[in-house]
Amino acid sequence: MKFLDEAKIYLKSGDGGAGCVSFRREKFIEYGGPDGGDGGRGGDVIIEAVESLNTLIDFRYRQHFKAETGHHGRGKTMTGRAGAPAVVRVPVGTQVLSDDKTEILADMTEAGQRAVLCRGGDRGFGNTRFKTSTNRAPRRADPGWPGEELWVWLRLKLIADAGLIGLPNAGKSTFLAAVSRARPKVADYPFTTLHPVLGVVALDDTHFVLADIPGLIEGAHQGAGLGDRFLGHVERCEALVHLVDGTQDDVAGAYRTIRGELAAYGAGLADKNELVALNKIDSLDDQEIEDKAAILAQAAGLDSPAQVFRISGVSGQGVQDILRALLPRIEARRAAAREHLALTEVT
């Protein structure tokens, strides 16, 4: 299935149903009077987050969503039926943005969450509503009010606990395959990963989601390479695992390139918890590992080279160590989320 994380759609809620002009015509009732009913309310446009979706590919084939118009009123003071709502189902993690992308209209972060984007038009009144002591046979009925319409952007941001970042061929996909059952494409050329991939990591009876995104290069924020749009998928992560290819000559330059792109992207990515790892140590001797770890620690502003993780996704060296260092940060975030939810339910 093709991965699509952005789509533009048109929404239109239903118009309200018109009121009815009607008069009673019954035997033995000489002056029946008005009995026209009100119209029905137009249907709303509702967005709903569901677990069964993980891409916006469905919106490539359908871009228009319209709710049903309210039914008209009828005689005998019968009110018209309300229009059926239009429910737009999106993956968990989808943001709804205004047409100019300057305002977030809804942020769907939990399965089952719903939000009304367009409210249906109000119903029109029948002539029964306009009966007074001086106007006993009104011939007035109002049309229904029009519904709302707008164009919106849907932007999917994957829900993951931690994200993998680095230059192309830094070993992110190999690392994800080593720690989870995900099977991303792995090859010896740049930009093997063309779209984000999620993997579930099992560690000490705990599970968390790790996201692998396409590699960044210098100038990605200006459109170089695949650009930096995919960084949106790690905005919700608690921590970032920064992998640096230990086989390249300038490990410090590689680290600074990625940090520069994070800062240029914004959205708080540069301030997130970061674990720095020297990857592909299976191809280095002990002295090279220590030298490059020291250079990388200095570039990252770490107190000691010991804070740089030495790992190899191929051989599995150091993989468990970095996962165990990542786990407390994720659990702290989950605990804070549970506490926030409990406070919200109390209030």
Residue 171: which region, alpha, beta or left (left: phi > 0; alpha: psi -120 to 50)?
left
Say which residue, 69 or 178, is predicted with more confidence: 69
DSSP states of 68-95 as a string? PPPPPPBTTTBPPPPPPPEEEEEETTEE
Same domain as 146, residue 166? no
Same domain as 174, residue 108? no
What pLDDT is recorded for position 113? 92
What pLDDT is recorded for position 34? 93
Say which residue, 29 or 147, is predicted with more confidence: 147
What pLDDT is recorded for position 223? 65
Encode pLDDT of 236-248 as tens digits: 888 899 999 888 8
What pLDDT is recorded for position 283? 87
Burial class from Cβ neighbours inside 10 Å (0-12, 13-18, 19+) for residue 42 reads buried
Nearest to 308 by CA among 238, 239, 215, 244: 244
Gyration radius of the chain over CA positions: 29
Encode pLDDT of 131-184 as tens digits: 998 999 999 999 999 999 999 999 988 878 888 988 888 888 888 888 888 777
Alpha-carbon distances of 179 from 90, 159, 315, rounded to whole Å = 29, 18, 12
What number is the average pLDDT over the span 263-276? Answer: 86
Query: What does the block give as tokens for 276?
Result: 């720095």
What pLDDT is recorded for position 189? 62
Same domain as 324, residue 219? yes
Encode pLDDT of 280-297 as tens digits: 998 888 898 999 999 999
Nearest to 333 by CA among 193, 215, 224, 236: 236
Say which residue, 16 or 215, is predicted with more confidence: 16
Same domain as 130, residue 77? yes
Please identify, among 156, 190, 220, the residue that sits at the C-terminal boundary of a domain.
Answer: 156
Same domain as 137, residue 25? yes
Q: What percent of the chain has a predicted confidence (pLDDT) above 90?
A: 42
Same domain as 187, residue 50? no
Nearest to 74 by CA among 46, 39, 26, 106: 39
Say which residue, 185 or 125, is predicted with more confidence: 125
Within 10 Å of residue 108's Cβ, how many Cβ atoms?
Answer: 24
Chain mean pLDDT for the chain: 87
Query: What does the block give as tokens for 117?
Result: 């984007």
Please identify, among 125, 156, 187, the residue that sits at the C-terminal boundary of a domain.
Answer: 156
Helices (H), 145-241: 172-179
Q: For residues 310 and 281, is the Cβ–Cβ distance under 8 A?
A: yes
| Bridge partners (DSSP) listed for residue 8 | 153
| Candidate from 150-154, 204-208, 254-258 with smallest mean pLDDT | 204-208
Same domain as 203, residue 134? no
| Bridge partners (DSSP) listed for residue 210 | 162, 199
Please identify, among 139, 156, 173, the residue that sits at the C-terminal boundary of a domain.
Answer: 156
| Bridge partners (DSSP) listed for residue 11 | 65, 150
Query: What does the block give as tokens for 193?
Result: 């990963």
**Phi and psi at residue 176, in whole multiples of 5°?**
-60, -40
CATH number, domain with residue 102: 2.70.210.12
Nearest to 66 by CA among 22, 137, 117, 7: 117
Same domain as 152, residue 243? no
Which residues have CB under 8 Å from 50's CB, separation 6+? 89, 90, 91, 92, 111, 112
Which residues have CB under 8 Å from 263's CB, separation 6+? 270
Q: pLDDT grade, residue 48 (50/70/90)?
A: very high
Question: First vs last Cα of the chain: how many Å apart?
Answer: 42
What pLDDT is recorded for position 188? 64
Q: For residues 53 and 90, is the Cβ–Cβ distance under 8 A?
A: yes
Encode pLDDT of 113-135 as tens digits: 999 999 999 999 999 999 998 99
Per the structure, the complete domain to which residue 310 belongs is given by 162-346
| Candidate from 150-164, 220-234, 303-317 with smallest mean pLDDT | 220-234
Same domain as 307, residue 287? yes
Identify the top-confidence range among 14-18, 107-111, 208-212.
14-18
Reply yes or no on whether the pLDDT at 315 is more than 70: yes
Reply yes or no on whether the pLDDT at 269 is more than 90: no
Angle at 282 between CA 280 and CA 283, to 5 degrees: 80
Same domain as 134, residue 20? yes
Within 10 Å of residue 181's Cβ, how many Cβ atoms?
Answer: 10
Q: pLDDT grade, residue 20 (50/70/90)?
A: very high
What pLDDT is recorded for position 265? 86
Cα–Cα dist 51/65, whole Å? 21
Same domain as 271, residue 142? no
Cα–Cα dist 343/297, whole Å? 40
Burial class from Cβ neighbours inside 10 Å (0-12, 13-18, 19+) for residue 222 reads exposed
Cα–Cα dist 208/222, whole Å? 32
What pLDDT is recorded for position 1? 46
Q: Is 200 helix (H, G, I), strand (E, B) or coil?
A: strand
Number of domains forming the structure of the chain: 2
What pLDDT is recorded for position 99? 93
Query: What does the block give as tokens for 121?
Result: 């038009």
Quick one: angle between helices 319-346 and 172-179, nearest 10?
Answer: 70
| Candidate from 205-209, 214-218, 260-264, 265-269 with smallest mean pLDDT | 214-218
